[in-house]
Amino acid sequence: MRRLTLTVAGLAAAMLMTATMAAVALASSQFKQTAKVTLTAKKQGASTGFTASLQSTDPGAPLEKPQGLKTLTIAFPAKTTFNFKSKALTVCKANDTEIKATGGSACPSKSKLGEGSSTANGAPAIPLIPENVTAFAGNNQILLLLAPKTLGGPGATLVLHGLISANTMKTQVPPLTVGGLTIVITGLQLKIKAVGSGKTTWAKAGKCASKKFLVKSSFLYETGEKLTVSSSSSCT
């Protein structure tokens, strides 16, 4: 039940073109996926947030549209822990429909963890779709609300669920289509703040190895292809 907005003329053109295209686009030799995820903490065991910058491009693909992402798994440093029962935050219990309908206001203010932006490729109708992203604490998960930057503007309003298990966050990305047109999320910029300290710490930084926090971002695409990208930040 996602809300997608496209121009009528653009939608018609998209339907004509996508009728002759394969349902699932394979990556070309020019496909590129970047991922940089860093902790805000500088010391092992400290309260931490994190920043994430993800981007996919494929100049060699039809309409320059990269293969769609199906699952994103981010493995934070070993021994990183998350405590969603922390008294420093409030868990958002609203369902996806309520979150989307209220623009996130259905979630308590103390459940907000951060914000950022995202981009999507809706070619040929709209090659670049920018959106705002707001993150909330859910039940053992981070809820990501994606919404158009302008009211009534092009884009999709949806909620992604980053399920937390030990030091790993796993996010399923549902297929986005309208009138046979595939919408591919191509970029995500996100900043999650550190919440609490001491006994109320929400996220605690894990192992600092060789003065680095190592994070691995694993991508599973709709084509079945897999890719893992490592990134790191300094620590003591």
Q: What is the pLDDT of residues 35-82, one digit of tens each?
A: 999 999 999 999 999 999 999 999 999 999 999 999 999 999 999 999
Q: Is the alpha carbon torsion for 197, 53, 163, 205 positive or negative?
A: negative
Rounded CA-CA distance 143/139 in Å is 9
Residue 111's SS3 state is helix
Residue 205, helix vs strand vs coil: coil
Q: What is the pTM of this model?
A: 0.88
d(CA 211, CA 229) in angstroms, rounded, equals 19
Q: How far is Cα 215 from Cα 97, in angstroms, rounded to an integer? A: 32
pLDDT in tens, 72-127: 999 999 999 999 999 999 999 999 999 999 999 999 999 999 999 999 999 998 89
Per cent of the chain over pLDDT 90 is: 81
**Can you say whether the dihedral through the CA atoms of 65, 5, 161, 109 is positive or negative?**
positive
Find how far residue 139's CA is from the centre of its chain.
Answer: 17
